[in-house]
Structure 1
């Protein structure tokens, strides 16, 4: 990965984690089955992740390119505003749940989720110029956001079973299915983006001497970041069916690490090849 692209990679990962966790937490809250303490904890973590993402964004001096990767800096101020709204609404969500104002918290969560979708759209516009088209980057970021959110929320919710054995198993089962669906979308996006030619190949200062299909990072992205967490998520899903919740949580711990590694590798490849993977 290009050193100059590292702060942008961190910004994208933190943004995906913040927004994806809000989406999945809100969905779990609206569907029911999760406790108020869990929703409060997740809203607090989302607000903290949002602050870190905003801090990272404030440290960037956005220009027309990132070490040879052309970007559109125009949407960046609006992206930061949308991310700020996500962070504020997550904090409101947390406070409302703490006070017992659950309907107010859910309204804040809905508004924050809409702002999060706008942030993903704006981020996609920023990084779309060299790719084959806007759908390439949007679908890649959307799927990554959903995957990071699902694995983070599922892993956290698994800990509630360690202290409250009477909780229903189906909420964790649903979260595993969301994670599997997000990975299925990532596989489709990867296949399409590898097949369609890009509009402009980035020209970094220190280019990689091998082609994309000779680059071992691509196969690490596929093996560690997609195949491995898909297997783990399926095993966790099967484990919840026999109510072995501690085992399912352990599997999701490992899956979370694999998903994070996969997202970092995917963004590194994107800045090198203009192919969101």
Structure 2
């Protein structure tokens, strides 16, 4: 189960990262940003393929492997396209990478169809926008002349994603209250970790980053975004662990 959770998490992360880059303006951000981080996404998908190859009884093994290989190939092609600064074609390929990874996350997920699409969409949006914002903040350190607008837009997307994730997870709490009241202290500790890091902590980091960019100080903002990434990773992985028994997003 743990390997399946990790594979689904990486599909969500790769999907969200590609989506965030798709909606980042190539006229305001240098092409190297897209090229380098398509390689990062390719690394995620390659790791998924290796995991599935090594685990013979992995659920939906053939489908997951095929999707991860397809996403890796598309990411490589996209990186080559961005090397030659073909931004229009590059964004289409980013859209294709997003779609393939979204499909991979759906296939890897064990949640019921009614919840699966919403869960994968909101989690991917939060993971990808946060991770991309941190990477873009780091990119400003290499290219300090870039405008702050793309980074601010990603931070706004982070805020939207947290709101959507809160609504989805809050629905589970409202509908399945007897479960978390009866599970005991260990479940409550995990649930508290999920909400304090993945929701409350991320919201605090968003506010702090936004205020820091008003100075503006991209170096400090990037440091805050590093913490936001850690919080999101902890929150979403804990969410997947808690959701596994009930198959409902937490």
TM-score by length of 1: 0.81
Aligned to 2:206: 233
Query: For residues 234 and 250 of structure 1, what CA distance do their matches in structure 2 show?
Result: 14
Q: CA deviation at 1:34?
A: 1.2
Q: 2:9 aligns with which of 7, 13, 18?
A: 13
Q: Does 1:38 align with 2:33?
A: yes
Q: CA deviation at 1:14?
A: 1.3
Q: CA deviation at 1:211?
A: 4.4
Query: For residues 61 and 113 of structure 2, what CA distance do their matches in structure 1 show?
Result: 16
Q: Contact 1:76/1:122 (CA < 8 Å) preserved in 2?
A: no
3-state SS, counterpart of residue 28 of structure 1: coil
**How is 1:254-273 mapped onto 2 (pairs within 5 angstroms)?**
254-273=227-246
Aligned to 1:48: 43
Q: Contact 2:8/2:104 (CA < 8 Å) preserved in 1?
A: no
Q: 2:22 aligns with which of 9, 19, 26?
A: 26
Q: Does 1:111 align with 2:122?
A: no
Aligned to 2:226: 253
Q: Contact 1:19/1:86 (CA < 8 Å) preserved in 2?
A: no
Q: Contact 2:12/2:101 (CA < 8 Å) preserved in 1?
A: no
Relative to its length, the structure with more helix (as a share) is 2
Q: Aligned residue pairs: how many? A: 247
Query: For residues 223 and 58 of structure 1, what CA distance do their matches in structure 2 show?
Result: 36
Moved more, 144-153 or 50-59: 50-59
Change beyond 3 A, Cα 1:234–1:76: farther
Moved more, 179-188 or 134-143: 134-143
5+ residue gaps, structure 1, are: 64-72, 202-208
CA displacement, residues 207-235 of structure 1 (integer Å, 9 cap, x when unaligned): xx834896210011001121101110122
5+ residue gaps, structure 2, are: none
Q: RMSD of aligned C-alpha atoms? A: 2.4
Q: Contact 1:229/1:258 (CA < 8 Å) preserved in 2?
A: yes
Q: CA deviation at 1:195?
A: 2.6
CA displacement, residues 171-196 of structure 1 (integer Å, 9 cap, x when unaligned): 11011111111111110110112233
Q: CA deviation at 1:251?
A: 0.6
Q: 1:196 aligns with which of 129, 154, 175?
A: 175
Moved more, 114-123 or 138-147: 114-123
Query: For residues 212 and 276 of structure 1, what CA distance do their matches in structure 2 show?
Result: 20
Query: For residues 146 and 212 of structure 1, what CA distance do their matches in structure 2 show?
Result: 31
Q: 1:77 aligns with which of 62, 74, 79?
A: 62
Query: For residues 175 and 52 of structure 2, what CA distance do their matches in structure 1 show?
Result: 31
Q: Contact 1:136/1:189 (CA < 8 Å) preserved in 2?
A: no
Q: Contact 1:158/1:246 (CA < 8 Å) preserved in 2?
A: yes
Query: For residues 49 and 29 of structure 1, what CA distance do their matches in structure 2 show?
Result: 24
Query: For residues 98 and 143 of structure 2, what CA distance do their matches in structure 1 show?
Result: 29
Change beyond 3 A, Cα 1:177–1:91: same
Q: Does 1:145 align with 2:118?
A: no
CA displacement, residues 46-77 of structure 1 (integer Å, 9 cap, x when unaligned): 111111122223333447xxxxxxxxx5x553
